[in-house]
Amino acid sequence: MRIGIISDIHGNIEALSALPERFDFLWVLGDLVNYGPNPREVVDYIQSNATVVIRGNHDHAIGFDEDPRCSAPFREMAKAMQEYTSAVLSNEQKQFLRDLPLTSHRKFEAVKVSSCHAIPSDPLFGYRPPESDRWAEEIKTIPGDVLLVGHTHLPFQREFGSKRVVNPGSLGQPKTGRPAACYAIWDTSLSESAISLRTFDYPFEQTIRKIEALSLSTEIKSSLASVLRHGGLIERST
């Protein structure tokens, strides 16, 4: 059995459509929308193809017209694209985002799996970088063996005793220093716990051309393009 695990698509249909492998199930750890030019198409795809879908902070923001509480460098981009995203999504799609659960707990094969977008103690907005020692505290609170998270846009796996936390990274807006989309594969034909982190190239310039055609400020469009091209914002000297 193979599960594709993705997170932080952010309206990027090019990355989502280019997933290079087939799975029996698709699990999505939140942030389907915002930042990218095709939120409507992404929501349609996830509604049709995903087995598990968790609500992320940007899904929550669009669904409930609230602040996604982004970090300072991304705040203006999020605000500008939130207006665009809200305008193009249907009421039914916004309701779908509102109805998404904050957490999921299920048993897959013999493994108990917990999922959330950010961290168990703050599923929407909590932030723990991959190297944080506080993951040990977070993972103690889950009822299962594996914790799946997103939010940081940085892929990692860490073990804490018999438990493990896995972040597949961002499919649609990676922040790894390169533009390749990130995801994970859980292949139980290899073993019950065989989760591997993977990347693939996709036509990100096509996504950028769509962004450049939107009615946004030049600065916002430049920043969004920079994130996609460079896997994160490039600090400008002053």
The pLDDT tens digits for 144-186 are: 899 999 999 999 999 999 999 999 999 999 999 999 999 999 9
- CA 17, CA 74: separation in Å to the nearest integer? 25
pLDDT of residue 205: 98
Instruction: Please report where in the chains the tokens 């292949």 appear, as a residue.
Output: 187
Cα-based angle 227, 219, 40 (whole degrees, multiple of 5): 60
- Reference 176, options 116, 232, 106, 224; nearest CA is 232
pLDDT of residue 109: 80
pLDDT of residue 237: 38
Domain ranges of the chain: 2-230
User: Residue 47 forms beta bridges with which residues?
Assistant: none
Using the predicted structure, report yes or no on whether residue 193 has a pLDDT greater than 90. no
Average pLDDT over residues 111-115: 94
More confident residue, 233 or 39: 39
User: Residue 129 forms beta bridges with which residues?
Assistant: none
Second CATH level (architecture) for the domain 2-230: 4-Layer Sandwich (3.60)
- CA 140, CA 156: separation in Å to the nearest integer? 18
